[in-house]
Amino acid sequence: MNFHLVDWLIVAAVYAGVVAGVPLTRRYMRSVADFLAAGRTAGRYLLTVSNGLAALGAISIVAFLEQNYVAGFPLAWWGMTMALVVLVVTASG
């Protein structure tokens, strides 16, 4: 790899931030339900939106744009159909 010092400093800073954040957030995580669904206190709409936002990142947007560029509208059609199916399943519980 051709990482320069600045690149390694960015990687180290992100890693240090994650490692430093673990002890601060550990007291809020008592079970799997706390991690996945905010202790089962979050509503279904909040969980749906947060799941969508967690999946939306810069690399995902670039991948979707390239995917649509290469495959065209047919791939987008199946993606929209699946989005509707996922919405119905999520809203129905």
Tens-digit pLDDT profile for residues 15-57: 999 999 988 888 877 777 776 667 667 777 776 777 677 777 7
- As a whole number, the mean pLDDT across the chain is 81
39 in the Ramachandran plot: left (φ > 0), alpha (ψ -120 to 50) or beta? left
Whether this prediction's pTM lies above 0.85 is answered by no
**What is the structure's pLDDT at 56?**
76
Q: Say whether pLDDT at 59 is over 70.
A: yes
CB of 29 closer than 8 Å to CB of 35: yes
Structural domain total, the chain? 1
Handedness of CA 21, 22, 24, 28 (dihedral sign): positive
**CA–CA distance, 19 with 26 (Å, rounded to integer):** 11
Higher pLDDT, 10 or 69: 10
Token pair of 50 as six digits: 């947060």
Token pair of 79 as six digits: 């993606």
Higher pLDDT, 92 or 35: 92
Domain of 77 in residue numbering reads as 5-92
